[in-house]
Amino acid sequence: MLGKRSTVSLAVAGLLVAAGCGGDTEASEGGGGTLTLGAIVAPATFDPSGSEWGNRAPYYQAVFDTLLLAGSSGEIEPFLATDWSYNDDGTELTLTLREDVEFTDGSALTAEVVKQNLERFQTGDSPDAGYLAGVEEIEAVAEHTVEIRMAAPDPAFLNYLTRDAGLVASAESFDSPDIDTHPIGSGPYLLDPGATVTGTSYVYTRNPDYWNPDVQHYDELIIRVFEEPTAALNALRAGEANGVKLVNNDNLAEVEAAGWTIEANELDFHGLLLLDREGTMNEALGDVRVRQALNYAFDREAMLTALQDGNGNITTQVFPPASEAFDPELDSAYPYDPERARELLDEAGYADGLTLSMPTSAVLGSTTFTLVEQQLTDIGVTVEYTDPGSDYIAELLAPNFPLAYMALEQNPDWQLAQFMIAPSAVFNPFGAEDPAIDSFLERIQFGDEQEQAVAARELNAYLVEQAWFAPLYRVQGSYAVDPDTTVEMLPTNAYPSIYDIRPNS
């Protein structure tokens, strides 16, 4: 995905494409046949300390297990850890591990191995290493018991352990010179290096000694990398894939007419990130009236129809419907009103207009940026575009632009706050801060369950009022499966878990 955080730029932009040569999906009891998937991005490494989630999740799920599991209904389930509990103030997490798990090199899963994995991830070069930033100490207190001590409560921490931060590899592989290409995990499949072409095609075979055969639905898994999205649609038309994550919703009728089933979720919102909220790069954005004007500038219904064929829901809030923070009335807080937008710009001292610099990206579609420019021009805002190429995310986060169009995943409350709202959040690159927001975040972090929910709703309302963002819509993420395959979508990732892709038999 475009740059610093591919689990954001492609996963959240919903751009993972599955394609390839479909395999035999006739499955015997306990699994069988071949599942063929595809992606437009390859894993940078198979070393968990440098791993990413989102688009790259299937590569890692195939060979590694996570400490906890994200269920298709949104719940967190046991996996390598069978039980977990917090102390009274939420700063110490105790994990109880399975005692029957071996890695494919024959070594055993122990608390010490988990400790080493977590420490390597915390100090590694994964773009998500910040998930463990608040961890102060990890201790193996018994052979299969781990204690994780944190400086302060982290309401999203269990969710992180269902993602790349929770991946566990054999400790025997850490010093291996080929750890980047020869993963040693305890997962359902084994990577076949001889059949794999790095960057192009990844071939996995069934792990015969896997501890959880109920999630091994195939004997072979193939993930191919396709840089051109058209290749995925062509593979679908030819029946050469079992599952296809569609780049957009332009061809749903054609896909369904071909006998494929469309499964959907709403993981991402699309819109403007008004990053320079304190006006350090562009003084105008430091004025809430200007930010509100930008929100009134967009005909969201027309944008959703033009860019997503109407598949999604308009919104002016960044929190998803599954969130405690969500308020359905905030989906329409800024109706399309270019006259009101011009009035606000006039009140802020920009009656003669203003100029805003933004990046563009072919990945997000040229039509998107054309429509954004048109609607901003209508209220007197001149857009100056720069195309940073593959460095779109890196340039955005440098930060080298005061605002940018993006598609971002809508996380659970605290995770979303740490992702794009808190002063240290990845997608708050200017470090914008507000005492009221700090107060809301403190109540979410330290409050009980009821207080967390109340504070989350108040935070959401305040963000909309202060126009920290200009969301346009929640987009439908569409996943097509052939008649021989079924899938359950995840509410927390653009790509379904490989455990939830099954043959119809």
β-strands 145-150, 92-97: how paired? antiparallel
Give the mean pLDDT of 475-485.
Answer: 89
In a domain, 409, yes or no: yes
217 is a domain residue: yes
How high is the pLDDT of residue 11?
35
pLDDT of residue 17: 28
Between 383 and 231, residue with greater pLDDT: 383
The residue to which tokens 């930060």 are assigned: 399
Instruction: Kindly state whether residues 349 and 254 are assigned to the same domain.
Output: no
501-503 and 261-273: which strand pairing? Answer: unpaired
pLDDT for the residue 248: 75
**Are 235 and 282 found together in one domain?**
no
Residue 70 Cα distances to 103, 145, 319, 421, 488, angstroms: 21, 21, 19, 24, 12
Find the CATH number of the domain harbouring 286.
Answer: 3.10.105.10
- What does the H/E/C string look like for 330-391? HHHCCCCCHHHHHHHHHHCCCCCCEEEEEECCHHHCHHHHHHHHHHHHCCCEEEEEECCHHH
Per-residue model confidence as pLDDT tens digits over 378-429:
999 999 999 998 889 889 999 999 999 999 988 889 999 999 999 989 899 9
Confidence of residue 478 (pLDDT cuts 50, 70, 90): confident
Asked if residue 341 belongs to a domain, the reply is yes
195 and 273 share one domain: no
What is the percent of the chain with per-residue pLDDT over 70, rounded to a whole number? 93
* pLDDT confidence of residue 497: 94
381: β partners: 354
Does residue 214 surpass a pLDDT of 90? yes
> Is the bond preceding 399 in cis, omega lying within 30 degrees of 0?
yes
Q: Examine the domain organization and report whether 469 and 486 are in the same domain.
A: no
Return the amino acid letter for 417: A
The answer to whether residues 187 and 276 belong to one domain is: no
Write down the pLDDT at residue 227: 66
DSSP calls for 106-175: SPBP-HHHHHHHHHHHHHS--TTGGGGTTEEEEEEEETTEEEEEESS--TTHHHHTTTGGGEE--GGGTT
Of the listed ranges 95-109, 214-228, 332-346, the least confidently predicted one is: 214-228
The domain that holds 98 is classified in CATH as 3.40.190.10
Residue 105 covered by a domain: yes
Residue 118 sits in the same domain as residue 22: yes
| 116 & 227 share domain | yes
Q: For residue 395, is it within any domain?
A: yes
1: in domain: no
Whole-prediction pTM value?
A: 0.83
Residues 236 and 292 in one domain: no
**Are residue 495 and residue 471 in the same domain, yes or no?**
no
Domains identified in the chain, total number: 2
Strand, coil or helix: 247? coil
Same domain, 424 and 499: no
Confidence bin at 237 (pLDDT 50/70/90): confident
Question: Residue 481: enclosing H or E segment and its boundaries?
Answer: strand 469-481
Domain that holds residue 386: 267-476
Same domain, 214 and 300: no
Q: Is residue 137 part of a domain?
A: yes
Q: Same structural domain for residues 111 and 197?
A: yes
